[in-house]
Structure 1
Amino acid sequence: MLPPLKSLPVFEAVARLNSFSLAANELNVSQSAVSHQIRILENHLGESLFHRQGRNLELTKEGKHYLDSISNSLLQIEEATNHIKGQQKTNIRLAVYSSFAVYWLIPRLPELKHLYPNLELSIEMSHGTPDLSDRTADFFITTEKEKRGFLFESLYQEELFPVCSQSYFETIKNKLGAITHQELVNKLSSTPSLLAQFPLITSYSIYDRHIEDWKRWFASLKHTLPEHIQFHRFSHLMLAYEAAKHSLGIALVNDYMMSEKHDETTLIRLPCSSFKTGDNFYIAYKESRKDEDAIRYLKRWLKEEAKTLAKV
């Protein structure tokens, strides 16, 4: 038996906006009308869809499951309607990690706009792995690679390597007694532990603990982490990057942060080895939406741009 169809877009709006009043504004109806439609749907299903505690609103387990089940159907109805009316949807929400968005994606957006002027992109920035759901976004850049109903395509494998500012590079050369760039290359390649003489910048976000990034970098060179290192600790890779820019020390940063357009970065990659973090990045989208123009445009452009990462 079909549910009360009038209630479904109301439920989707409340769940997406996490608010009865905001849903009422979006749908141009009264808040009492929204509440009435939710009650009708809950009565039909015989389940509560929301936890209500004062002003706080949260989907129940049943509500989350129901939303995931109906969201794509509502989108397909919208797509079919727009197609009949000759209004192909070209707006899309992209969920992406914060550092990727700031250092790699945003500098490239003018080119995307030039190639696809009718594509309207909304960026949902995430510090952690985004929830693969229609209520979060339409398209994802994620380290996840499995979820029922989604297609995943590899974008690149992440690597970390040491960097510092232009001015701090001169400090390193002077302290190590390396006059030329080649002399510095020879010193650091033969004795990577020389970096331990300088403050090292560590971030928490990749391995969920500080210093682990540098432990793994030294381990990749078959060295143990030297003792008595001065560490500057930051929660996120973005902060480590900014700290290195301001000459606080040497940071391990990720390859896409050093692939800004037109050499805009102010950091220098030190002549040292890189190591793979073990994270593979993927683009992800609903299989049922693979033929949408917006999905195809964005996928094609991201994969083409990501080829530059292999050249960093």
Structure 2
Amino acid sequence: MKLPPLKSLPVFEAVARLNSFSLAAEELSITQSAVSHQIKQLETYLGEPLFLRSGRHLRLTEEGRQYQEAVTSSLMQLEKASSRLLGQEKARLRLSVYSSFAVRWLVPRLPDLQSSCPQVELSLEMTGENPVLSDRVGDCFITIQKTSPAFDYELLYEEQLFPVVSQDYWHRMQRELQLTSSDARLTADDLLRYPLLSTHSIYQRAAGDWQAWFAALGKELPAQAHLQHFSHMLLALEAARFHQGVALTNDYMLSNRKDADDFVRLPCHAVATGDHFYFAWKQARRQETGIQLFRRWLVEQAIQSGLRSG
């Protein structure tokens, strides 16, 4: 078995992760010259440069990026195998997850995870975009794209959008629209009398969410509609909380939160976005106890909160 210089691998992993020789030296409690020596030794062995250096700037080469994925995964497997033999196994998982899903659905449920699966130590890496499925980013992911055949996927939620307002705003609408029946339905024209709070990130274009909502009725969003634009659903929902108009949101944003009663779901239709939220993990790691414990817990929570049917 021909192996690279093994002492160099943790040094390479630290430099690649921290993007700094000095920070890696500090973390590993060695000198910066020792870090440079180990990286040079590894590059000499491989016959490839792993980093591009330009003044104070440092970045991985393409070969270095590919090597980092393999090295990080291998070192993590060694750590887990050693922990098992020592009887000290802890499932330390980095979850890359959308910020809205984390803040509104996952974080409030973490005390249950800690009591149900105390051996799982979860670290959240929040992202505003679809996460890159890579060991460099996380051990597991919440994603809407099944792009990599190297990963397994568990469906958690099929997204739909529906309009909500604050309790005070709903009372105002009832008065102004003269709604006397508790089962009265609102029309698109009713909503057009009020500011529409739009989230750019859902369809990656201005007013895309409301355009889709009107299109589900066979209508176009009128040019004269009063729109307020927000980059993120969290911001639009906060604006709705403070009585600024009608926001489109989804189930997980209002699922079992203490502040869910601050909002009223308007008696209107919902529109499916076509996005499916999956829990994703690498097939090569499917036997890891921590990933499977966390997967089962996530599915149970999705069912209990109504995101996913039983």
TM-score, normalised to structure 2, is 0.94
Q: In the alignment, which residue of structure 1 is the partner of 2:45?
A: 44
Separation in structure 2 between the aligned mates of residue 158 and residue 264 of structure 1, nearest angstrom: 18
Q: In the alignment, which residue of structure 1 is the partner of 2:156?
A: 155
Structure 1 contact 24–34 (Cα < 8 Å) conserved: yes
Separation in structure 2 between the aligned mates of residue 261 and residue 118 of structure 1, nearest angstrom: 26
CA spacing shift, 1:304–1:263, aligned 2, 3 Å: farther
2:39 is equivalent to residue 27 of structure 1 = no
In structure 2, give the amino acid aligned to 1:120.
E
* Matched residue SS, 1:280: strand
Q: For residue 232 of structure 1, report the CA deviation from its aligned partner.
A: 0.6
Q: Which runs of 5+ in 2 are unaligned?
A: none
Structure 2 contact 252–307 (Cα < 8 Å) conserved: no
Q: For residue 295 of structure 1, report the CA deviation from its aligned partner.
A: 0.8
Q: In the alignment, which residue of structure 1 is the partner of 2:255?
A: 259
Q: In the alignment, which residue of structure 1 is the partner of 2:242?
A: 246
Q: In the alignment, which residue of structure 1 is the partner of 2:192?
A: 196
Q: In the alignment, which residue of structure 2 is the partner of 1:130?
A: 131
* Matched residue SS, 1:197: coil
* Matched residue SS, 2:306: helix
Q: In the alignment, which residue of structure 1 is the partner of 2:208?
A: 212
Q: In the alignment, which residue of structure 1 is the partner of 2:91?
A: 90
Structure 2 contact 143–278 (Cα < 8 Å) conserved: yes
Q: How many residues align?
A: 307
Identical-pair percentage: 50
In structure 2, give the amino acid aligned to 1:296.
Q
Q: In the alignment, which residue of structure 2 is the partner of 1:177?
A: 178
Q: Deviations over 1:256-307 (max 9, x none)?
A: 1011345645211111111111111111112222222211111111111111
* Matched residue SS, 2:205: coil
Q: For residue 2 of structure 1, report the CA deviation from its aligned partner.
A: 2.1
Structure 1 contact 96–124 (Cα < 8 Å) conserved: yes
Q: In the alignment, which residue of structure 2 is the partner of 1:303?
A: 299
Structure 1 contact 68–133 (Cα < 8 Å) conserved: yes
Q: For residue 253 of structure 1, report the CA deviation from its aligned partner.
A: 0.8
Q: For residue 167 of structure 1, report the CA deviation from its aligned partner.
A: 0.7
The one of 270, 273, 279 aligned to 2:266: 270
Q: For residue 133 of structure 1, report the CA deviation from its aligned partner.
A: 1.2
Structure 1 contact 217–275 (Cα < 8 Å) conserved: yes
Separation in structure 2 between the aligned mates of residue 18 and residue 217 of structure 1, nearest angstrom: 44
Separation in structure 2 between the aligned mates of residue 132 and residue 175 of structure 1, nearest angstrom: 49
Further displaced range: 277-286 or 1-10: 1-10
Considering only aligned residues, what root-mean-square deviation do their CA atoms show, in Å?
1.7
Structure 1 contact 203–237 (Cα < 8 Å) conserved: yes
CA spacing shift, 1:232–1:21, aligned 2, 3 Å: same
Structure 2 contact 97–125 (Cα < 8 Å) conserved: yes
CA spacing shift, 1:127–1:247, aligned 2, 3 Å: same
Q: Deviations over 1:132-170 (max 9, x none)?
A: 111211111011213143211211111111011111111
Further displaced range: 21-30 or 102-111: 21-30
Q: In the alignment, which residue of structure 2 is the partner of 1:67?
A: 68
